[in-house]
Amino acid sequence: MTVQHKHLIVRAEVNQPPTDQKWAHTWLTDLVSKIGMQICQGPITTYLDMPGNRGLTGLVIIETSHIALHCWDESEPGLMQLDVYTCGDLQTEVIFEEIKQFEPVKVEYKFLDREHHLTEIDL
């Protein structure tokens, strides 16, 4: 494997933000598999029911770095933040396909090469 240092940061406004931490555990596990990575630890998921910051958080450590998911469900649409960092080859198309199930109304992202600088990559 060639070390690559790729980082995908996604901000999505979604009509169906996830709220179930057991579901998120499965989703993160499946996502790791779908992008060809291996889990080292986790996923760890939790749902915080705090007014103004209510939502779901999940984290999984992969052998090449991490995936973090943060969702807020109080607003309409809901907000999803997804962070995928890897030292391996990153299949971004799989990640964007997975986001579709949350019924996004707006998706913004930055895809960075962090090898020597923070260089933005076009998809």
CATH code, 55: 3.60.90.10
Question: What residues are paired with 90 via a beta bridge?
Answer: none
The residue segments making up the domain with residue 65 are 6-120
Rounded-to-integer distance, Cα 7 and Cα 116, Å: 13
| Chain Cα centroid distance, residue 33 | 13
The single residue listed with the structure tokens 């930055």 is 110
Contact (CB, 8 A) for 101 and 16: yes
Q: Quick one: average pLDDT of 5-10?
A: 92
| Chain Cα centroid distance, residue 94 | 11
Banded model confidence at residue 1, pLDDT cuts 50, 70, 90: low
Q: Mean pLDDT score of the chain, rounded to an integer?
A: 93
pLDDT digit string, tens, across residues 9-64: 999 999 999 999 999 999 999 999 999 999 999 999 999 999 989 999 999 999 98
How many domains, in total, are found in the chain?
1
Is 1 domain-assigned? no
Banded model confidence at residue 123, pLDDT cuts 50, 70, 90: confident
Pick from 62, 59, 77, 74: nearest CA to 15: 77
Q: What is the pLDDT of residue 102?
A: 97
